[in-house]
Amino acid sequence: MCGIVGFTGSAPAAGILLDGLKRLEYRGYDSSGMALNRPEGLLCLRAVGKVCKLAEKVAAAPEELRRSCCGIAHTRWATHGAPLERNAHPHLDQSRRFAIVHNGIIENYQALRKRLTEKGCEFSSDTDSEVLAHLIAETYRGDLLAAVAAALKQVSGTYGLAVTTSLEPGRIVVARRGSPLVIGLGDGENYVASDVAALIAHTRQVIYLTDGEVASVTPEHVEIRDLDNLPVEREATGIDWDVSQAEKGEYPHFMLKEIFEQPDALANTIRGRLDFEMGTSILNGMNLSPRDLAAIPRIVIAGCGTSMHAGMVGEYYFEDIAGIPTRVEQAAEFRYRNPIIEPNTMVIPISQSGETADTLAAVREAAAKGALVTAICNVVGSTIARESGRGVYLHAGPEIGVASTKAFSCQVAVLLMMALLLGRNRRLSRTEGLALAEEIAKLPELVRQVLDRADSIRDIARRFAQYDNFFYIGRGCLHPTALEGALKLKEISYVHAEGYHAAELKHGPISLLDERHPVLALANDIPGKDKIIGNIQECIARRAPVLAVANPGDAGVRDLGCDVIEVPRSSRFIAPIPTAVALQLFAYYVAAERGCEIDQPRNLAKSVTVE
Ligand code: M6R
């Protein structure tokens, strides 16, 4: 949600910090700030709004202050305290010698604040985070690493934390519990960030901190310890993303770029994972033998938002293709509902970022209950990927747009390949497996065909952009696809959109239909289409404008007189992917027509690292 970046080296820090913050803006923001460390004192600048507001302040600061070569910075997404300048990070202690930036929530901050206030500390913000600056100043005895560790022992809650003090120029101390923190390794300079996207312009060698660790970062050294001051050895990890993948290039928005990247992203997801000899898939990261796979009695999928919708498509796959009873849990609910995990139950957490707090909590609960936790993540080395221990990466490249697009397609493709593997391990014949593998291999081309129709989708979207309410309806695997399409529309265009199973409309929601309330119906030519056509007729009879997704040449749908978005013909298992791509384009063009801030929709953050 909030973003952290820090730099220490011999180059001016301010520009590097600003660049890192801009790369993190997609995580969510309402204010930003930086603290530059110089022996003569810290310089702290903060601004409400986008990072460009902070950049204006940096540009106006005296030249000598901009020459500092060490600093920490932050983009804030408000939790405790309104988005005001005094609540923006960094926060300083009373002596103004210690600056902190913090992601997460300090749960016992009220008690700590009371104690510190009684001791004479004056607080200048409404945040939970500020207590950390005062605590660290209180525990400091000449070693920032030791002070941070001692302070954090008094704290409950979650943190990704970066701290600097004018008493130790050139040094940054970072810590993590429940909120990601990564150290980027340079030559005579080092970086810290909450997200590798902030670092890849400078280095691809990173060290991920794990929970309960503190690290000292200077231009020449990185030293990791646990909270009891015991040294921790950690190998650096190589990142295979390049800078251009994290930039918009010629596209007006990351979202559009990422929609158009889907043929390549899917090709990367699928590459080397289909076995056309045996009619199965090869998913080495699952690290399960055929005997292990055969012993799985049940699958539970946990995810949030788009990732949960992908999981709902996967539920159809695992039951239909592999015959394994499957249920999908909203990840936040998983640990509170005391789920039944039998021996060998496979729990599949799905998370693009690999950092979503609710999904991570589900991973921990599942692991504690002895499940086979097998994650589907995009970000290599992310917390969920690491803690799950086994899983399948998407290899979709960085997804920067807050609205998840290519991650959904690639998650669904991975779930289909998992179902193929499990199916072949059980009841699917080689011939059936081969047919499915061949269909999966064609996914990049199918999606390319949808993208070729972007102009016609844009024209339709412009006509529908005037409406303030939508229903999206679908059946079978296209029911979760409808949910996902509705989520896309509401999150970036602020148009109220609800996804329903098509059969559900007449059980209540249909009462809302009239000529101002369109219905987007997924009427692909797959089993259930006849029923959807009946549902479309019910909507038309209530004067609702209907926009159908259908296959080329499908007279049955066109004869109803509704507008049509065409997607290429495919089997029911494949259909969610090209259909979702068409819905992503539709949402994008509606939002563009309505003049919305597509990559940074209001109130949203890319990575939701608080519960
Ligand atoms: O990184 P994750 O996949 O765990 O994120 C889960 C959701 O927060 C995410 O999919 C969210 O719903 C997107 N903004 C949807 O576009």
7-16, 115-124, 232-241, 470-479: the lowest-pLDDT one: 232-241
Residue whose CA is at the smallest distance from ligand 1 atom 10: 306
Residue 244: pLDDT above 80?
no
Q: Which parts of 157-212 are beta strand (E)? A: 159-165, 172-177, 182-185, 190-193, 205-208
SS3 letters for 432-476? HHHHHHHHHHCHHHHHHHHHCCHHHHHHHHHHHCCCCEEEEEECC
Q: Which parts of 17-165 are beta strand (E)? A: 31-38, 41-48, 70-76, 91-92, 98-103, 159-165
pLDDT category of residue 608 using cuts at 50, 70 and 90: confident
**pLDDT score for 337:** 86
**pLDDT score for 77:** 78
**pLDDT score for 249:** 84
C-beta separation of 375 from 351 below 8 A = yes
> Residue 91's beta-bridge partner residues?
100
pLDDT category of residue 580 using cuts at 50, 70 and 90: very high
User: Comparing 440 with 611, which gets the higher pLDDT?
Assistant: 440
Residue whose CA is at the smallest distance from ligand 1 atom 8: 305
C-beta separation of 325 from 298 below 8 A = yes
Which residues are within 8 A (CB) of 429 and not within 5 positions of it... i.e. 6 or more apart?
279
Residue 425 CB–ligand 1 contact under 6 Å: no
17, amino acid identity: L
* Distance from residue 435's CA to the centre of ligand 1 (Å): 32
Which residues are within 8 A (CB) of 489 and not within 5 positions of it... i.e. 6 or more apart?
470, 472, 495, 497, 583, 586, 587, 590, 591
pLDDT tens readout for residues 41-65: 999 999 998 899 999 998 887 776 6
Select from 265, 316, 263, 324 the least CA-distant residue to 297: 324
Strands 390-393 and 372-377: parallel
pLDDT category of residue 506 using cuts at 50, 70 and 90: confident
pLDDT tens readout for residues 87-107: 999 999 999 999 999 998 899
Q: What is the mean pLDDT of residues 348-362?
A: 95
Strands 546-550 and 563-566: parallel
Domains and CATH numbers, the chain: 3-245 (3.60.20.10), 248-441 (3.40.50.10490), 452-598 (3.40.50.10490)
**pLDDT score for 67:** 79
Ligand 1 atom having least distance to the Cα of 404: 16
Q: Own/partner pairs for 247-254, CB < 8 Å, 24+ apart?
A: 252/592, 253/401, 253/588, 253/598, 253/599, 254/26, 254/400, 254/401, 254/599
> Residue 237's beta-bridge partner residues?
206
Q: What is the mean pLDDT of residues 412-435?
A: 97
**pLDDT score for 2:** 82
What predicted TM-score, i.e. pTM, was given to this entire model?
Answer: 0.83
336-340, 435-439, 493-497, 549-553: the lowest-pLDDT one: 336-340
Q: Angle, nearest 10°, between helix axes 443-451 and 576-593?
A: 30
- pLDDT > 70 fraction of the chain, expressed in percent and rounded: 98
Tokens 């995810």 belong to which residue?
303
Query: Would you tell me how many other CB atoms lie within 10 Å of the CB of residue 611?
Result: 12
Structure tokens at 470: 């939508």
Alpha-carbon dihedral angle through residues 484, 485, 490, 492, given to the nearest 10 degrees:
100
Q: Mind giving me the DSSP string for 319-349?
A: HHHS---EEEEEHHHHTTS-----TTPEEEE
Q: What is the mean pLDDT of residues 329-351?
A: 92
Report which secondary-structure segment, H or E, holds 407: helix 406-424
Residue 158 CB–ligand 1 contact under 6 Å: no
**pLDDT score for 114:** 96
User: Comparing 76 with 165, which gets the higher pLDDT?
Assistant: 165
Based on the residue annotation, tell me whether 410 is a catalytic residue of this protein.
no
Residue 608 CB–ligand 1 contact under 6 Å: yes
**pLDDT score for 610:** 66
- 3-state class of 141 per DSSP? coil
**pLDDT score for 27:** 66
Tokens 């390549």 belong to which residue?
264
Residue 398: pLDDT above 80?
yes
Separation CA 175–CA 323 (nearest Å): 45
Q: Mind giving me the DSSP string for 5-36?
A: EEEESSS-HHHHHHHHHHHHGGG--SEEEEEE
**pLDDT score for 1:** 63
Catalytic residue selected from 50, 257, 406, 606:
606
Residue 353 CB–ligand 1 contact under 6 Å: yes
**pLDDT score for 548:** 97
Ligand 1 atom having least distance to the Cα of 608: 8
**pLDDT score for 578:** 98
pLDDT category of residue 237 using cuts at 50, 70 and 90: confident
> Residue 349's beta-bridge partner residues?
302
Residue whose CA is at the smallest distance from ligand 1 atom 7: 305
Catalytic residue selected from 2, 304, 410, 596:
2
C-beta separation of 76 from 194 below 8 A = no
Residue 402 CB–ligand 1 contact under 6 Å: yes
pLDDT tens readout for residues 312-322: 999 999 999 99
* Distance from residue 352's CA to the centre of ligand 1 (Å): 7
Report which secondary-structure segment, H or E, holds 140: none
303-307, 460-464, 530-534: the lowest-pLDDT one: 530-534
**pLDDT score for 30:** 83
User: Comparing 82 with 518, which gets the higher pLDDT?
Assistant: 518
Which residues are within 8 A (CB) of 472 and not within 5 positions of it... i.e. 6 or more apart?
482, 483, 485, 486, 489, 497, 498, 499, 500, 519, 520, 522, 583
Separation CA 86–CA 83 (nearest Å): 8
Residue 403 CB–ligand 1 contact under 6 Å: yes
**pLDDT score for 64:** 66
Residue 404 CB–ligand 1 contact under 6 Å: yes
Which residues are within 8 A (CB) of 129 and not within 5 positions of it... i.e. 6 or more apart?
80, 89, 91, 100, 102, 106, 109
Tokens 């001791």 belong to which residue?
119
Based on the residue annotation, tell me whether 369 is a catalytic residue of this protein.
no
